């Protein structure tokens, strides 16, 4: 493997998805038993703060996600540039950067890719409006 030609590199993890079978039960457990700070919920999702990392509880959206592992979400400053940098290194993305959530103050952009072992990872960028 040759050395990367760009100074770009992944570092901070912004969010980790934890697949759950019963969202209501899991939300109560993470909030009450583990004492994690509950942030908010959305349809079929619950969010918690774990230090500098956000945890997202979710039932599996597709069969491929129905396993006891986590999906790592890497925060990036500019998702389009990050995707291009990683594609130049041979990373195959499942989708183009796209908005997954929007409020009056921000947009949340994501793009999914697999590692060489077929583990799913996500790049995410929060853009202020």
Complete DSSP assignment for 8-39: -----EEEEEEE-S-HHHHHHIIIIIS-PEEE
Predicted confidence band of residue 120 (pLDDT cuts 50, 70, 90): confident
pLDDT tens digits, 39-60 = 999 999 999 999 899 999 998 8
Nearest to 30 by CA among 74, 71, 39: 39
Least confident residue range of 16-30, 66-80, 93-107: 66-80
Question: Where do the domains of the chain lie?
Answer: 11-58, 76-129
Model confidence, pTM: 0.65
Q: Which CATH architecture has domain 11-58?
A: Roll (3.10)
Tell me how far apart the alpha carbons of residues 44 and 63 are, in angstroms, rounded to a whole number: 16
């Amino acid at each position: 493997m040759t050395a990367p030609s760009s100074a770009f590199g992944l570092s901070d993890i912004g969010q980790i998805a934890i697949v759950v079978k019963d969202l209501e039960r899991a939300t109560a457990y993470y909030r009450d038993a583990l004492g994690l700070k509950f942030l908010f919920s959305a349809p079929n999702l619950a969010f918690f703060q774990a230090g500098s990392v956000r945890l997202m509880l979710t039932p599996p959206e597709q069969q491929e996600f129905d396993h006891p592992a986590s999906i790592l979400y890497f925060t990036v400053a500019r998702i389009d540039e990050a995707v291009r940098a990683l594609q130049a290194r041979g990373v195959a993305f499942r989708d183009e950067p796209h908005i997954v959530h929007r409020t009056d103050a921000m947009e949340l952009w994501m793009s999914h890719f697999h590692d060489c072992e077929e583990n799913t990872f996500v790049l995410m960028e929060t853009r202020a409006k």
